[in-house]
Structure 1
Amino acid sequence: MGISFTKINRQSVTESIVEAFKQKILNGEISSGDKLPSERDLVESFGVSRASVREALRALRYMGVLEVHSGEGTFLTENISLLSDHFKISLLLKQCSVRELVEARKIIECETVSLATIRSSKEEKEALKKLHKYAMTLVDDEQPFLKADFAFHEKIAEMSQNMVLVEMLNATRDLTLSENMYVIEREGQIKRALDFHSSILYYILSFDADNAQKAMLAHLEDIERSIRDLVSRH
């Protein structure tokens, strides 16, 4: 399938490439399962650097829009329904600021962790322990770690036994993954995240809702500091 793109403005290059893919999908020019052009062809089509194309493709993979088949190439995922939802599209385009995202996460996740501590079953707590244990094996594997990281937070939301809060957290999934892809550039960030997760898990297992809430807040504030630090360097 021949897929061509028009050259784009160099401002917000990654977001512009994401927008271009979104338009192709919504217009029906790209369908589920379609194979993407080669990286070289995309560089030529967009008129941008190879690094910019790679960053955009990486972001799209984290968002669940693209998947790589070893030895075959990069394909549009079979499940692209998220792109039909206006709110999630706005997240993909980063219309929400990082400050707004972190504020929302503080409101949602400090409540879900408190409720999870009180309401969750022994089996659910054991499942959370397993998720944390698995994430600890991914210290040197960024993409799987980011997904495991979100799965840990998502499980806590599910343990709150409040489906509205679960859906609110899931609505931020794509922007959270995009945000974390940026945050993870900070040296030692994965280890810090795992340390915070260990504390959160400890307090949940100890039925200590107040300290679980404080640990979650500290975790999210650390993410906020990491973003400010990275932005100040650019």
Structure 2
Amino acid sequence: MDMEKVRANRVVQGIKDMIVNGELTPGARYPSERVLAQRFGVSRNTVREAIQYFVMVGVASTKPGSGTYLVNDTDALKKMMDARQMLEKYNWTEIQQARRVIEMGIIKLAAHNANREDKIRLRNALQKLDEAGKKVETDAEINAYLNADYELHEEIARITHNTILMELHASLREGILSLAEVWKRFANLVDIVNPTHGKIVDAIARNDEEEAAAAMDEHLRYMEYRIELNRTIGS
């Protein structure tokens, strides 16, 4: 892992500690980039990357001209903390294996249950992902794409109409969003991955369980390959 990433992770952990010890409370504004940079001995760019992590996982929001605020949602904050602990405990391979078990279990039920309203929402989620995929170069663009990617998979889980499966899938959020490092390394991922998203959505739209499962398997196999390749290159 490069040193800039190490420093950003250190700032993320430091801000997490501020949340845990009550120094940063729900609804409060984050300290300025300058203050945080001085506190953690890093550049403002590093602080900006760390803050983007909290925005990306849905526990911070930026108000133009005002600053970045911690969301006033204790459930969201708890889920973020639990997800962070999961990443600290498990590696990408384990998370991806769990993702395969959960998503392959979800996909056939989603294809079976999808009604007209479900299909409309799913098409809208795919359109949002396609828009986000038109330019995936900067960290912010990569994060926006990953959020849209997660939202599409989240919508598939919602179509099962099974609360347990939806909650199991929600536990994968942090793992999916953590793939930013892989996207930064392989510039052509969007061109290869987005067509598999289209195949998944088309199969669900036809209520074709077998084709949906095959498309999801293709999608996950490709991501697993890239994750392993990233690990090998980075080792």
Name the counterpart of 1:119: 113
Change (3 A) 1:155 1:34: same
Contiguous gaps of at least 5 residues in structure 2: 136-140
Name the counterpart of 1:225: 225
Q: Contact 2:84 / 2:174 at 8 angstroms: preserved in 1? A: no
Distance, in Å, in 2 between the alignment partners of 1:133 and 1:11 is 31
RMSD: 2.4
1:168-211, Cα deviation, whole Å (9 max, x unpaired): 001221232222x2232120223333211101112222332122
Q: Contact 1:157 / 1:169 at 8 angstroms: preserved in 2? A: yes
Where does 1:10-89 land on structure 2 (aligned, <5 Å)?
Answer: 12-85=6-79, 87-89=82-84
Contiguous gaps of at least 5 residues in structure 1: 1-8
Distance, in Å, in 2 between the alignment partners of 1:54 and 1:232 is 29
Name the counterpart of 2:138: none
TM-score w.r.t. the length of structure 1 is: 0.84
Change (3 A) 1:128 1:84: closer
Matched residue type, 1:104: A
From the two aligned structures, give the one with the greater helix fraction. Answer: 2
Q: Contact 1:183 / 1:226 at 8 angstroms: preserved in 2? A: yes
TM-score w.r.t. the length of structure 2 is: 0.84
Q: Contact 2:114 / 2:205 at 8 angstroms: preserved in 1? A: no
Residue 122 of structure 2 is aligned with which of 128, 132, 143?
128
Name the counterpart of 1:3: none
Matched residue type, 1:147: N
Shift of 1:111: 1.4
